[in-house]
Structure 1
Amino acid sequence: MCKYCYEHTGKIWYLQKDSYDIQARKFLKVLPGRFREWVYNFLDSKLDKFVDSSTEDINQLQDKREPYTGLKRLLYNYFAKNVLGGQVTTSINDAYKVIEMGDDFFLHYCSCKKGAGAGEDFRCIFINHNAVRQRKLGTHDRGRFIDKDEAKEIVKEHRKDGHFHTVMWGMRPKVDCICNCDHYCAGLYVPEIRWGLLPSLKLTRIKDRDRCDPDCTICLETCYPKAIVKKQKEKVLKVDESKCIGCHLCVENCPRGVFESIPRKVYYDAAVGKKVEISK
């Protein structure tokens, strides 16, 4: 039985203790410990500029951009699953758990928002080894160090503002940071990159359509991937499962309890790097 996959442990990768320690488990296991850590830090240091330039490329055009094709698409597909990627949390409670499992925190600007030309908004929280790296590099111009209580408060305030939370990994599956995301999230604009933005392990569906107020538009306003189908002055029609990222915002904010979250039948398990299909 696998010791790390969600199917056998019941724990998603970002709630497993080893995901917060770059010396643990299978991470670059062919290399000796100290050299392994040096390789990680070297690669991770190169990711900062790469992420900034990539999000700029995506966000400048957003939904008007041309989809990646050919070799570039293949490279980004591999990159998003093995080098740097992220998964949406099922709720704010998972976001709190991620913060609780961390020890060191660095508040960094959002590369996605900066790439869109909207300025530096400090709302991405680097965790443990990624925060330690910022201290070693002396990158105070990129943000500031915070404690656990402030990290939780930042997550709480962003949730109030209608943001969802994405746990990022560096060199899968090591927790790098937790982002407080909105419509600037670059992952929303690359649907051709399969699992480019991993949806949570939950999926939203309509629980009771009869409760829906035809004049209400809260669900449409909170759904960033535009997965909810609802015509003006009519009750909600459906949730497009192919677009839903399982952020739980519509479930939380609907005043009439129209929606509910259910387990996703097909998901990508970052802990083992495999697509999993739950049999009925």
Structure 2
Amino acid sequence: MSRRKHPPERGAKPRPRALASARARGRSRRVRAALAGLAACLLLGGAGFPLWHGGFVHGAIDAARAAVERAALGAGLGIARIEIRGLRHADADTVQRALGATMRAPIYAFDPEAARERLLALGWVESAAVARRLPDTIHVDIRERRPFALWQHNQRLHLIDRAGAVITGERLARFGALPLVVGRGADDRAAEIVDLLSAREALAERVAAAMLVSERRWSLRFDNGVEVRLPERDTSAALERLAALQARHSILDRKLRAIDLRLPDRLIVRLLEPVRAGAGKRGKKT
């Protein structure tokens, strides 16, 4: 027996499936209206120059843009979620401000490329990717610079990466275990001396600072205050020589002010306290 479908009684509540379908159709209409408004705004913007100078349109673009914003918000195209990945050291609030995304603002009005440029201006940010994910999400992937060394120049201290790029000059206490390089140009050449020392662990663990002298050669300051002057060329061979002297004679533990290794065929040392003339000679009895 066939069943006849009776129309719903007046005042009856719509079924959940029908209600959801109606909401989806309404949302779809609002989205289409917002996109159509955006297209109209772009077309008007393209024609704005001759119309503006012809005196026929005044403020039409702003009015159209405002209308599109209202339509977009009504269609659920406002920013409701901001996803940022890759942060470890960078300050989240600073990154948020540079991103420039405002919650509930029209998502189409957000410029991902401009936001990316602002993020790249931050010291911690090495690379960034910014994207709009409709209908309501801004997604950001950040790769931070890796702290490599501390650089001191003009009595100011900076954190730098391996390439010498300055990351930050703030809150540096947590990076106190990193190598310290000093002097003009030492930022760009930090990897050079750090790599040479890393291959000689017994020396590296005692170096307090590596100083670039006249942007030409390195001098090392050790933990007991001894300064070792390295040559401009063949720095690696000089460090090998120093490592051998330390292993055989504990030269860094002597009462010395400086060790000069700039000449390959000789070793010059400066004593911590100069020997006075006649010291050690017995005086005459009177």
Superposed pair shares fold, TM > 0.5: no
TM-score range, shorter chain: under 0.3
In our comparison, the structure showing a higher alpha carbon Rg is 2
Q: What TM-score do you get using the length of structure 1 for normalisation? A: 0.20
Q: Answer 1 or 2: higher relative contact order, Cα 8 Å, separation at least 6.
A: 1
Q: What TM-score do you get using the length of structure 2 for normalisation? A: 0.20
